[in-house]
């Protein structure tokens, strides 16, 4: 690690574990996660149940880790004092966003600003107006949240997360349920915000990460499977993606995963991911996309589990 | 930093938690007016302020913290567990206090004599002590079980058992845990000890609730 990276270092996670009891058995939600996250946009990708939300909640100081250390800007998140300090510089948008729907957007953001410690009424009002403008809700600021669409509610959620100008912004599955236009708008907003803070984006939508993050981690079964840039993830998948056109009803097998299918005049074109395709001499090597890389990582992880 | 707003505490308060105690209040007022008998009026009045009010307070308190749609967002802010606890249950107590005092004023207006309950301090302690005790129990039960229903069930259970075995509760060591002593047995020789014990138990329940509230992950 260079001196410059050290200065910039914002979040340090070492050997992070989280164990839940579910009925009479223990569930390991996180198994020894090690990560160093710097300013900018960081993507956390993984399937449902991978441990992403648990990870995000630990970073937000809501869930206590079972083991390991986690420091945000030097503050220890395993202590009450550390959590209090980190929450003072946090913006958080949870996956399941509960709100006081009888309040107007302006009132809700104002209330969250008060809870975050913005006591000066004049400065707070100015900031509330700013963040509502930022998320494009200025015109409907006086309307009750209960009349808002899913996308508008998400935007209120991001406005409340930003109202204290946080150094660390955590957004958990922010684009779930949004239409394509809203998703693009949301992604662009997050990228803009990442210019001067840490933005942690957790999602299972590969496209969201590919479009926004220069740094990402893939989490599955509580373990980090990959850490690096999207380009590095693509590079690691080279030689493991093919296209194959087959006629008839047979589907490719031999431990190859079909990522997509396209019906053509000459047959069905399959996009395949796997360790090798020698059983199919007609298979053409293809340039991997981020989704192929994700499938390849998951496939490897699954094999590891089976081998174990 | 105060991190508190009375305006929003009231605006985010669920309206059914206002209608519920108000409905009880109206029911007891109507009952009093219909029966209109001085002796029965006293029993109705003490039944409302010292028996019904603690039950309503306890049940409402069970919902006070966990029945919050934005609980995860609230937990992600730097507000302390003590503030969450105080902010939520003080509002519940305030509503019970307003209702109880309004009923006392109404009862006095129609000529109810509260002298059998003792002096003015004893009169007010007879509803304040059990109401605080039930609020503390309801909050603790809900937070311990991480479910609002557990708190309200616990309150209902203690309330009904103590009503049924109220005579037995005045003997042996159970007398210190007898919630209705101030209102149903105001001349009991151990009334002061009973009220001190109930205050101490309430403080202990609230302290334990405060400790449990630090484990926020249990409630989201």
- Indicate whether B8 belongs to any domain: no
Q: What is the pTM of this model?
A: 0.89
Cβ of A97 under 8 Å from any chain B Cβ?
A: yes
Q: What percentage of chain A exceeds 70 in pLDDT?
A: 95
List, for residues A265-282, the tens digit of each pLDDT value.
888 899 999 988 888 888
- Indicate whether B4 belongs to any domain: no
Same domain, A200 and A170: yes
pLDDT at A247: 83
- pLDDT surpasses 50 at A4: no
Of A197-206, B94-103, B140-149, B206-215, the poorest mean pLDDT is in A197-206
pLDDT at A58: 97
Mean pLDDT rounded to a whole number for chain A: 90
Separation of alpha carbons B209 and B215, rounded Å = 10
> Counting runs of H as helices and runs of E as strands, what totals does chain A give?
10, 14
Across A180-198, b (16+ Cβ under 10 Å) vs e yields: eebbebbbebbbebbeebb
Number of compact structural domains in chain B: 1
Q: How far is CA A239 from the centre of its chain?
A: 27
- Read off the pLDDT of each residue in B43-60 and give the average, rounded to a whole number: 96
- Indicate whether B148 belongs to any domain: yes
Q: What's the gap in Å between the CA of B210 and the closest CA on chain A?
A: 13
In this structure, the number of other CB atoms found within 10 A of the CB of residue A107 comes to 20
pLDDT at A2: 45
Which residue on chain A is closest to B218 by alpha carbon?
A63
- Read off the pLDDT of each residue in A186-202 and give the average, rounded to a whole number: 91
Question: Judging by DSSP bridges, how do beta strands A75-76 and A215-220 pair with one another?
Answer: unpaired
Tokens of B140: 């603790």
List, for residues A227-237, the tens digit of each pLDDT value.
999 999 999 99
pLDDT at B157: 98
Same domain, A110 and A137: yes
Separation of alpha carbons A270 and A251, rounded Å = 9
- pLDDT surpasses 80 at A5: no
Check CB contact under 8 Å for B78 and A88: yes
List, for residues A59-87, the tens digit of each pLDDT value.
999 999 999 999 999 999 999 999 999 99
A21 pLDDT band, cuts 50/70/90, is confident
- Indicate whether B179 belongs to any domain: yes
- Read off the pLDDT of each residue in A39-48 and give the average, rounded to a whole number: 93
Check CB contact under 8 Å for A115 and B74: yes
Of the two residues B59 and A10, the one the predictor is more confident about is: B59
Last residue of a domain, one of A229, A253, A275: A229
A8 pLDDT band, cuts 50/70/90, is low
Which stretch of DSSP H or E encloses residue B43?
helix B38-47
DSSP state of B179: T
pLDDT at A9: 52
- Indicate whether B1 belongs to any domain: no
Q: What's the gap in Å between the CA of A183 and the closest CA on chain B?
A: 22
Of the two residues A92 and A302, the one the predictor is more confident about is: A92
pLDDT at A1: 45
- Read off the pLDDT of each residue in A91-101 and give the average, rounded to a whole number: 94
Residues of B with Cβ-Cβ distance to A171 under 8 angstroms: none
Cβ of B14 under 8 Å from any chain A Cβ?
A: no
- Read off the pLDDT of each residue in A32-38 and give the average, rounded to a whole number: 94
Separation of alpha carbons B28 and B38, rounded Å = 14
pLDDT at B177: 95
- Read off the pLDDT of each residue in A291-307 and give the average, rounded to a whole number: 76
Number of compact structural domains in chain A: 2
CA distances to A88, A187, B78, B115 from A293, in Å: 37, 21, 39, 82
- Read off the pLDDT of each residue in B111-133 and give the average, rounded to a whole number: 96
DSSP state of A287: P
A303 pLDDT band, cuts 50/70/90, is low
pLDDT at A36: 94
pLDDT at A6: 43
Of A174-178, B116-120, B173-177, the poorest mean pLDDT is in A174-178
Residues of A with Cβ-Cβ distance to B80 under 8 angstroms: 84
Question: Which residue reads 């935007």 in tokens?
Answer: A155
- Read off the pLDDT of each residue in A19-32 and give the average, rounded to a whole number: 89
Separation of alpha carbons A73 and A82, rounded Å = 10
- pLDDT surpasses 60 at A20: yes
Separation of alpha carbons A124 and A118, rounded Å = 6
Of the two residues B191 and B13, the one the predictor is more confident about is: B191
Last residue of a domain, one of A229, A252, A276: A229
Same domain, A7 and A100: yes
Same domain, A251 and A221: no
Which residue on chain A is closest to B79 by alpha carbon?
A115
- Read off the pLDDT of each residue in A253-276 and give the average, rounded to a whole number: 88
Which residue on chain B is closest to A54 by alpha carbon?
B217
Nearest to B11 among A97, A98, A107 (CB): A107
List, for residues B64-117, the tens digit of each pLDDT value.
999 999 999 999 999 999 999 999 999 999 999 999 999 999 999 999 999 999
Question: Which residue reads 């503390």 in tokens?
Answer: B136
Same domain, A168 and A253: no
Radius of gyration of chain B (CA): 18
Across B195-214, b (16+ Cβ under 10 Å) vs e yields: bebbbebbeebbeebbebbe
A306 pLDDT band, cuts 50/70/90, is very low
Same domain, A206 and A247: no
The torsion of the CA quartet B211, B214, B218, B220, rounded to 10 degrees, works out to 140
A308 pLDDT band, cuts 50/70/90, is very low
- Per the structure, the complete domain to which residue A99 belongs is given by 3-229
- Indicate whether B62 belongs to any domain: yes
Report yes or no: A167 and A179 within 8 Å, Cβ to Cβ: no
- Per the structure, the complete domain to which residue B164 belongs is given by 14-219
Q: How far is CA B191 from the centre of its chain?
A: 19
Report yes or no: A147 and B33 within 8 Å, Cβ to Cβ: no
Same domain, A248 and A175: no
Last residue of a domain, one of A229, A256, A275: A229
- Read off the pLDDT of each residue in B116-135 and give the average, rounded to a whole number: 97
Return the number of CB contacts < 8 Å for A and B: 76
Separation of alpha carbons A219 and A229, rounded Å = 14
Q: What ipTM does this complex have?
A: 0.88
Cβ of A281 under 8 Å from any chain B Cβ?
A: no
Separation of alpha carbons A150 and A152, rounded Å = 6
Cβ of B215 under 8 Å from any chain A Cβ?
A: yes
Closest CA to B55 of B163, B197, B147: B163
List, for residues B4-17, the tens digit of each pLDDT value.
888 898 888 877 77
Same domain, A209 and A166: yes
Find the CATH number of the domain harbouring A29: 3.40.50.300
């Amino acid at each position: 690690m260079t001196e410059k990276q050290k200065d910039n270092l914002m979040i340090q996670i070492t050997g992070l574990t989280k164990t839940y009891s579910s009925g009479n058995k223990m569930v390991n939600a996180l198994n020894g996660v090690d990560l160093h996250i710097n300013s900018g946009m960081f993507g956390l990708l993984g399937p449902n149940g991978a441990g992403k939300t648990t990870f995000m909640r630990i970073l937000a100081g809501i869930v206590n880790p079972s083991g390991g250390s986690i420091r945000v800007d030097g503050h220890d998140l395993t202590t009450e004092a550390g959590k209090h300090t980190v929450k003072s510089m946090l913006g958080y948008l949870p996956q399941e966003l509960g709100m006081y729907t009888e309040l107007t957007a302006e009132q809700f953001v104002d209330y969250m600003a008060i809870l975050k410690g913005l006591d000066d009424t004049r400065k707070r009002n100015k900031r509330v107006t700013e963040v509502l403008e930022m998320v494009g809700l200025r015109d409907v600021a006086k309307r009750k949240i209960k009349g808002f669409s899913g996308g508008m509610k998400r935007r209120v959620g991001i406005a409340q997360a930003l109202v204290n100008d946080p150094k660390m912004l955590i957004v958990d599955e922010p684009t779930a349920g949004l239409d394509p236009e809203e998703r693009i708008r949301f992604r662009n907003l997050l990228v803009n915000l990442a210019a001067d803070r840490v933005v942690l984006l957790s999602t299972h939508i590969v496209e969201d990460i590919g479009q926004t993050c220069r740094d990402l981690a893939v989490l599955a079964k509580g373990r980090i499977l990959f850490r690096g840039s999207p380009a590095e993830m693509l590079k690691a998948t080279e030689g493991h993606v093919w296209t194959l056109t087959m006629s008839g009803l047979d589907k490719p097998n031999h431990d190859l995963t079909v990522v997509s299918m396209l019906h053509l005049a000459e047959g069905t074109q399959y996009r395949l991911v796997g360790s090798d395709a020698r059983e199919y001499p007609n298979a053409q090597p293809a340039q991997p996309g981020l989704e192929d890389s994700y499938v390849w990582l998951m496939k490897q992880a699954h094999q590891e589990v089976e081998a174990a | 930093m105060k991190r508190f707003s009375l305006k929003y505490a009231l605006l985010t308060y669920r309206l059914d938690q206002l209608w519920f105690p108000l409905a009880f209040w109206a029911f007891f007022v109507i009952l009093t007016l219909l029966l209109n008998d001085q002796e029965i009026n006293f029993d109705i009045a003490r039944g409302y302020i010292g028996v019904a009010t603690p039950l309503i307070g306890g049940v409402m308190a069970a919902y006070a913290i966990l029945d919050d749609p934005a609980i995860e967002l609230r937990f992600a802010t730097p507000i302390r567990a003590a503030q969450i606890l105080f902010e939520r249950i003080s509002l519940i107590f305030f509503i019970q206090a307003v209702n109880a005092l309004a009923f006392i004023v109404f009862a006095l207006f129609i000529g109810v004599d509260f002298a059998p309950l003792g002096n003015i301090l004893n009169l007010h302690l007879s509803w304040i002590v059990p109401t605080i005790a039930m609020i503390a129990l309801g909050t603790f039960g809900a937070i311990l079980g991480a479910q609002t229903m557990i708190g309200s069930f616990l309150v209902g259970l203690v309330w009904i058992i103590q009503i049924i075995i109220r005579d037995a509760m005045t003997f042996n060591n159970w007398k210190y845990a007898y919630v209705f002593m101030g209102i149903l047995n105001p001349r009991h020789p151990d009334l002061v000890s009973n009220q001190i014990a109930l205050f101490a138990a309430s403080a202990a329940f609230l302290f334990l609730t405060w400790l449990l509230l630090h484990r926020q992950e249990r409630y989201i």
